[in-house]
Amino acid sequence: MSSSPAPAPVQPYGRPPLRTVQVLGGAGAGSSAHVRSLTTGLAARGVRVTVCAPVAAEGEYDFTGAGARFTPDAVSALRAACAGADLVHAHGVRAGMRAALALRGGGRARVPLVVTWHGGAPEPAGALGRLSRLLERHVARAAAVVLGASSDQVDLARRRGARDARLAAPGVPGGEPGGEPAVDAGKTRAELGAVERPLIVAVGSLVARRGYSVLLDAARAWRVLDPQPLLVIAGEGPLRAELARRIEAEGLPVRLLGRRRDADRLLAAADVAVVPSRWEGRSLLAQEALRAGVALVATEVGGVPELVGEAAVLVPYGDSGALAGAVAALLDDPDRRAELAAAGRAQAATWPSEDDTVAQILSVYDELMERHRP
């Protein structure tokens, strides 16, 4: 006998369900995972959610399975979705611009717009930098509230003219730190070719801001270590061919793994994780490494220091010598790695949970709806 579906949660004071549109400007891992988590939490609380995003993001993150109605991110589809919304929440500056234009073009300029700034690359120079600042100013001023994933993003939004900018760090998906299911690290290391040698793991798209050219410079220095460590990089992107040529030409102990969906499995087998980026907001790999109790070496950029506290070794961006030395020192010091593992789990326990994040964002929605209610 089939059971009927559970009724949606009752809205307060008999009000109709809140209708929101979540707008993604790309398929970036951090913002897409955040929208997936947020969609799950909002839908469970009776909010009607439409996600407007690239089709590739729906295939990867299954927003429909989280309880949303999905629509592709074409201009016409976004405008139609916004036409029926009580509130629009864009994720990223470009998504914020598209949402603001859709609301204005659809005659819905009074619908509250929330924009989460997840972060991006440092401001480019010249004409491109001026265009970037102009875009940020427009979005900051169009939004009723700007939510920054890190404090530096909140400060930037205020400098760009945001009327209301607040810190809203995305919650960390998953259970308690250190509570992940057991993984056969030995099997993973064997598959990667690191049975009797240290394993260093980096994860992220193969683009310039990730700092992989500096990481390969560091890997060149690791060739003299005994045993020689293996660096594996999980990710795909436009720099793959260039990086592969360098690895082969210089005989670097590096493997490019391509796109992987098992970063947790790679980290469980790692001796050290590295984030060599030129800029990061709230680095997903840094969060996963600390939660898993893996020693982390990261560049001291963007929101990374605020995120990791004293639970990672931080080095300047672009200093391959400092990066190589920090990793080599950790590989030679298991006690220090154990200290960082414990500190990482403790730091991760201070981060907001997914439920905390949903509750904070829903309170922002409620506040805006009260403010705009006739």
Q: Is residue 365 domain-shared with residue 217, that is, in the same domain?
A: no
Looking at the domain assignment, is residue 75 inside a domain?
yes
pLDDT score, position 7: 46
Q: Is residue 150 domain-shared with residue 222, that is, in the same domain?
A: no
Looking at the domain assignment, is residue 4 inside a domain?
no
pLDDT score, position 29: 66
pTM above 0.75, yes or no: yes
Looking at the domain assignment, is residue 179 inside a domain?
no
Q: Is residue 43 domain-shared with residue 146, that is, in the same domain?
A: yes
Q: Which residues of the chain have pLDDT under 70?
A: 1-15, 26-29, 106, 109, 119-125, 173-182, 374
Looking at the domain assignment, is residue 7 inside a domain?
no
Determine the Cα–Cα distance for residues 237 and 194; give it in Å rounded to an integer. Answer: 25
Question: Which residue shows structure tokens 């798209």?
Answer: 205
Q: Is residue 112 domain-shared with residue 189, that is, in the same domain?
A: no
Q: Is residue 243 domain-shared with residue 301, that is, in the same domain?
A: yes
Domain CATH number, residue 308? 3.40.50.2000
pLDDT tens-digit map of 276-300: 999 888 898 999 999 999 999 999 9
Looking at the domain assignment, is residue 311 inside a domain?
yes
Domain count, the chain: 2
Q: Is residue 114 domain-shared with residue 190, that is, in the same domain?
A: no
pLDDT score, position 326: 98
Q: Is residue 218 domain-shared with residue 288, that is, in the same domain?
A: yes
- The whole domain housing 67 covers 12-171+353-372
Q: Is residue 250 domain-shared with residue 339, that is, in the same domain?
A: yes
pLDDT tens-digit map of 246-265: 999 999 999 999 999 898 99
Structure tokens, 29: 């891992």
pLDDT score, position 13: 45
Looking at the domain assignment, is residue 276 inside a domain?
yes
Q: Is residue 195 domain-shared with residue 166, that is, in the same domain?
A: no
Structure tokens, 150: 């890190």
Q: Is residue 55 domain-shared with residue 124, that is, in the same domain?
A: yes
Percent of all residues in the chain with a pLDDT value above 90, rounded to a whole number: 76
Looking at the domain assignment, is residue 54 inside a domain?
yes
Question: Angle at CA 53, nearest 5°, toward 48 and 58?
Answer: 85
Looking at the domain assignment, is residue 180 inside a domain?
no
Q: Is residue 192 domain-shared with residue 329, that is, in the same domain?
A: yes
pLDDT score, position 374: 61
Q: Is residue 341 domain-shared with residue 248, that is, in the same domain?
A: yes
112: which residues sit within 8 A by CB, 6+ positions away?
87, 88, 144, 145, 368, 369, 371, 372
